[in-house]
A and B are shown apart, each in its own frame.
Chain A
Amino acid sequence: MQTVVSQTSPPKKSFLYDPKVRGVFYQVLLVAVVGYLFYVAATNAIENLQRAKIASGFGFLENTAGFDISQSLIPFSAAGSTYGDAFLVGLLNTLIVSAIGIFFTTILGFLIGIARLSTNWMVAKVAMVYVEALRNVPLLVQLLFWYIAVLGPLPQPRNSLEMGAGFFLNSRGFFMPRPVYAADAWAIPAVLAIGLVGAFVYRRWAKTQQEKTGRQSPVGLVTLGLVVGLPVVTWIVLTLAGANPIGFDLPKKGTFNLTGGMQILPEFVALLLGLTTYTAAFIAEVVRAGILAVSKGQTEAASSLGLKSGQTLRLVVIPQAMRVIIPPLTSQYLNLTKNSSLAVAIGYPDLVQVFMGTVLNQTGQAIEVVVITMGVYLTISLVTSAVMNIYNRRVAIVER
């Protein structure tokens, strides 16, 4: 399938022995064989479906679903929602657990990766044990461990653990107050937006100031004050003025379980914990490899300039390590997203559980459902990969 094209004057050869022609011939042959295979597979599937009188097509997505789902970010009910809605619910549940998982696993993975390189013997060994233990146990086992052994023995709703301020924990999940927004609650996001813009402007000003004069400004503190402090102060002021912008719906004890408030399902918590702690072990290794790839001379040069060790890590080592870290980190993000499909074992309604489990079964549209599901995971993976590649291009070494 490879063609060797010689640039020198071609010796006179028979047409049949021309490597270029042969190359093209084999490529065409391969494409034809693959195409024929797909054709046979497709016609065979269609024939079998017709013979068995199995309805096909994507029309089923508009039929009423008739079942309920425990967690849905969009309104879903057995009465009015369709299989298409069930697909969306499953997709959103997959995306939310993956997004939150990626966020936490990045933080945890970086911390442990750096801890493994710590000069403190204890810290380094604890990180090593974490990585080796978590990395070498199958994820499914870990998920079941979190779900059955850790979250299972929590008390029944009637003896919920009370943590004060409307927070409860029991075997049905974690309960917290649900904010109820009043009419004048818009002031708070408005102030938050002002705070964000202010913080951005201040950071730019501080940066140019430092470049001009060398003086450093307390950027972190001011940003915190603008983004968190300002909205909180606004809220307190509004409340004192009697406007009461945000109320809270507290969970109350009902016949079977707590009612009201916000409930986070134990299935979600178990899946998030399992995915985060497992993937973090891999990310820790990626981070360690990235840091070790930065030449020791860089650290020495940084200390000879008088940078503290924290500064050295943050300003010199990590930025260079990122170039090595990003590509394998992307793979870990993709793994986390795909592994979220193991949710089916612990009853979390993700895409695979809802769509490839319940919907496939209630409709029998195996081929369509599997094709859609494969397409979704492929799309998620390609988008994640594309975003990370763009970031990678920005941090890559600019060669002159």
Chain B
Amino acid sequence: MKKALVSIAFGLTASLIATGASAQATLNSVKQKGFLTCGSNTGLAGFGLPDAQGNWTGLDVDLCRAMAAAIFDDPTKVRYIPLAAKDRFTALQSGEVDVLSRNSTMTMSRDTQLGLDFPAINYFDGQGFMVRKKLGVSSAKELNGASICTQQGTTTELNLADYFRANNMKYEVVAFATSDETFKAYDAGRCDAFTTDASGLYAERLRASAPDDHIVLPEIISKEPLGPAVRHGDNQWGDLVRWTHNAMLDAEELGVTKANVDQMKGSDNPEIKRLLGTEGKYGEGIGLTNDWAYRIIKHVGNYGEIFEKNVGEGSKLKIKRGQNALWTKGGLQYGMPIR
């Protein structure tokens, strides 16, 4: 008994000290572990969804895959940890995951009070509503008195309260822990409307018992800049996430794709040379090798490619590029220069 207590005591102390130290340099600990832990959605088509074999696909998980490619030259060295909205930030703060890439909105309070940083925005979104067609509702302004299913611990829940208050309408909120439970409750008829980010509405509609019975209302009631989050204070790790996203945007802008990246290595274009590491030592600045971006594009592709594959016209979701087009094509995605 005494011995057991003493050994437990020392074990606990050791582990406490260990977590204290490892929180500082995420990149080193990731390199040591040999894989990256990625906080992902519990299942949202197009963004983060495991298939029957446990292979994850989606825009958000591809960011983790790109990071693994940059660090290890192997996009499979990622361990996905599915997190409900209400658990995600705690999991990141406590070091359970190295990076959180699960359609999380960047807000000021999250950035400044939660001990988080949002280094990049990989999807510009806005909150919308979905209802059954047979209700005969064509605008969110007609939802006075409706009951609405939403996921707890989200910005969605707050925007919903704001919107109904601003429009002087009443509603009944039914909040669930996971997106799965929320949508099931809506599909079973517990609520008149389902609300989440517009991308999520299209993704969840695919899972409805009769997808064609539901319509997405035209109103977008909020700005939802979605992106990966990391712990505040580890700037090197934040840089790595930021530049992984930028490298994929720059690659798309420069026309570097998964298919032609090897030929592009011989390009004379100085921007491409810097991107692919044939000129300059940009990789060293984020603690990696200089061909870091080459590895990302070789294994995962550029932003346009992963967009099309996961959520764009080539996918089941068929979402238009819209705001997520490159700045050169009228969108908001703007890859910072590598130089």
Bound state CA distance, A1 and B109, in angstroms?
A: 50
**Closest-CB distance, A254 to chain B (whole angstroms):** 5
- Are A361 and B177 neighbours in the complex by a CB distance under 8 Å? no
CB proximity of A197 to chain B, nearest CB, Å: 42
Interface residues in B, total, Cβ within 8 A: 57
- Interface positions, chain A 338-375, Cβ under 8 Å from B, are 344-345, 347, 349, 353, 357-358, 360-364, 366
What is the distance, in angstroms, from A218's C-beta to the closest C-beta of chain B?
48
Interface assignment of A121: CB less than 8 Å from any CB of chain B: no
Q: How far is the CA of A361 from the CA of B113 in the complex (A)?
A: 12
| A55, B116: Cα distance in complex, Å | 12
Number of A-B contacts (CB under 8 A): 145
Given A78-B162, A357-B86, A360-B86 in contact, is the A69-B173 Cβ separation under 8 Å?
A: yes
Residue ID in chain B nearest A347 by CB atoms: B176
Known A52-B231, A360-B90: A172·B147 in contact at CB below 8 Å: yes
The reply to whether A361 and B144 form a contact with Cβ atoms under 8 Å apart is no
- The answer to whether A44 and B190 touch (CB under 8 A), given A52-B93, A347-B185, is no
Check B145–A257 contact: CB distance below 8 A.
Answer: yes
Judged by a CB distance under 8 angstroms, whether A53 is at the interface is: yes
CA distance A347 to B115 in the complex (A): 28
Stretch from B6-14, B30-38, B257-265 at the A interface: B6-14
The 8 A-B pairs at the shortest CB distance, nearest first, are namely A361-B153, A52-B115, A78-B161, A54-B115, A364-B114, A256-B146, A68-B173, A152-B188
Does A12 sit within 8 A of B, measured CB to CB? no
A66 and B161 contact, Cβ closer than 8 Å, known pairs A152-B190, A349-B175, A364-B89? yes
Q: What residues of chain A lie closer than 8 Å to B154, measured between beta carbons?
A: 361
* A37-B12, A366-B90, A366-B93 known; A357-B152 Cβ under 8 A: yes
Q: A51-B23, A360-B86, A364-B115 are in contact. Are A266 and B190 (CB under 8 A)?
A: yes
Interface string of A301-336 (1 = CB under 8 A from B): 000000000000000000000000000000000000
Alpha-carbon separation in the docked complex, A49 to B114 (Å): 9
A44 and B153 in contact (CB under 8 A), knowing A37-B9, A70-B173, A364-B113? Answer: no
8 A Cβ contacts from A22-66 to B: 26, 30, 33-34, 36-37, 40-41, 44, 47-49, 51-55, 66
Could you tell me the distance between the alpha carbons of A66 and B9 in the complex, rounded to whole angstroms?
43
Cα distance A267–B231 when bound, in Å? Answer: 36
Q: Is A255 an interface residue (CB 8 A)?
A: yes
Confirm or deny: A148 has a beta carbon within 8 angstroms of a beta carbon on chain B.
Answer: yes
In the complex, the answer to whether B144 meets A47 with C-beta atoms within 8 Å is: no
Determine which of A30, A48, A53, A68 lies in contact with B161 in the assembled complex, contact meaning CB atoms within 8 Å: A68
Contacts of A364 on B, CB cut-off 8 Å? 89-90, 93, 109-110, 113-115
Q: A197 CA to B177 CA in the complex, in Å? A: 49
CA gap between A373 and B127 in the complex, in Å: 31
A171 part of interface (Cβ distance < 8 Å): yes
- B157's partner among A48, A55, A358 (CB-CB below 8 A) is A358
Q: For the complex, is B78 an interface residue (Cβ under 8 Å from A)?
A: no
Q: How far is the CA of A37 from the CA of B175 in the complex (A)?
A: 38
Quick check: B115 and A357 within 8 Å, CB to CB? no
Distance to closest chain B CB from A48 (angstroms): 6
Complex contact A44–B173 (CB within 8 A): no
Question: Across the interface, which residues of B come within 8 angstroms of A362, CB to CB?
Answer: 153, 157-158
Question: A33 near B152 (CB under 8 angstroms)?
Answer: no
The proximity string for B residues 192-224 relative to A, scoring 1 for CB distances below 8 Å and 0 otherwise, is: 100000000000000000000000000000000
CB of A134 to closest CB in B, whole Å = 24
Of A1, A54, A79, A267, the residue contacting B2 (CB under 8 A) is: A1
Choose one: A52, A171, A254, A358; the contact of B175 (CB below 8 Å).
A358
Q: Does B284 contact A (CB under 8 A)?
A: no
- B16 close to chain A: CB less than 8 A: yes
Q: Whole-angstrom distance between the alpha carbons of A54 and B158 in the complex?
A: 21
The answer to the question of B172 belonging to the interface, with a C-beta cut-off of 8 Å to chain A, is yes
The interface residues of chain B lying within 8 Å CB-to-CB of A44 are 16-17, 19-20
A33 to B110, CA, bound (A): 37
Are B9 and A256 in contact, CB atoms less than 8 angstroms apart?
Answer: no
In the complex, whether A156 has a CB less than 8 A from a CB of chain B is yes
A70/B172 in contact, CB under 8 A: yes
**Interface residue B285 (Cβ < 8 Å from any Cβ of A):** no
Chain B CB within 10 Å — which of A259, A360, A364 has the most?
A364
Given contacts A44-B17, A347-B174, A358-B157, contact A52 B233 (CB under 8 A): yes
Given contacts A68-B161, A347-B185, contact A52 B177 (CB under 8 A): no
Give the size of the chain A interface in residues (CB under 8 angstroms).
Answer: 51
A79 touches B147 (CB 8 A): no
B7-63 residues with Cβ-Cβ distance < 8 A to A are 9, 12-13, 16-17, 19-20, 23
The reply to whether A259 and B175 contact each other, CB–CB distance below 8 Å, is no
The answer on a CB contact under 8 Å between A55 and B113 is yes
**Contact between B233 and A51, CB atoms less than 8 A apart:** yes
Query: What are 9 A-to-B residue pairs whose CB atoms are below 8 Å?
Result: A30-B5, A37-B9, A53-B232, A70-B175, A347-B176, A357-B177, A358-B152, A358-B153, A366-B93
Q: Does A167 make an interface contact (CB < 8 A)? A: no
Q: B95's closest neighbor in chain A, by CB?
A: A48
Cβ of B256 within 8 Å of any chain A Cβ, yes or no, is no
Evaluate contact between B175 and A48: CB separation under 8 angstroms.
no
**Residues of chain A with a CB closer than 8 A to B109's CB:** 364
Q: Smallest distance from the beta carbon of A3 to chain B beta carbons, Å?
A: 14
Q: Is B181 an interface residue (CB 8 A)?
A: yes
Q: Which of A48, A152, A267, A347 contacts B23 (CB 8 A)?
A: A48
Residues of A within 8 A of B172 (CB): 70, 172, 257
Q: A30-B5, A41-B16 are in contact. List 6 more A-B contacts (CB 8 A).
A: A53-B233, A152-B189, A171-B190, A257-B145, A353-B175, A366-B93
User: Can you list, as one digit per residue, whether each of B99-124 has a CB less than 8 Å from chain A (1) or not (0)?
Assistant: 00000000001101111000000000
- For A54, give the chain B residue with the smallest CB separation: B115
| B90→A66 contact, CB < 8 A | no
A377 within 8 A of B: no
Interface residue B272 (Cβ < 8 Å from any Cβ of A): no
Q: Which of B164-178 contact A (CB under 8 A)?
A: 165, 171-177
Residues 247-258 of chain A: 1 if any B CB is under 8 Å from the residue's CB, otherwise 0?
000000011110
> Within 8 Å CB of B1, what residues of A?
1
- The answer to whether B181 touches A40 (Cβ under 8 A) is no
**In the complex, A79→B163 CA distance in Å?**
11
Q: In the complex, which residues of chain A have a beta carbon less than 8 angstroms from the beta carbon of B171?
A: 68
Among A26, A41, A347, A363, max chain B CB count under 10 A is at A347
CA distance A256 to B171 in the complex (A): 10
Given A40-B16, A48-B20, A254-B145, CB of A358 within 8 Å of CB of B86: yes
Q: Given the known A-B contacts A44-B17, A67-B158, A364-B93, are A255 and B144 also in contact in the complex, defined by CB atoms under 8 Å?
A: yes
Q: Chain A residues near B157: list those with CB within 8 A.
A: 67, 358, 362
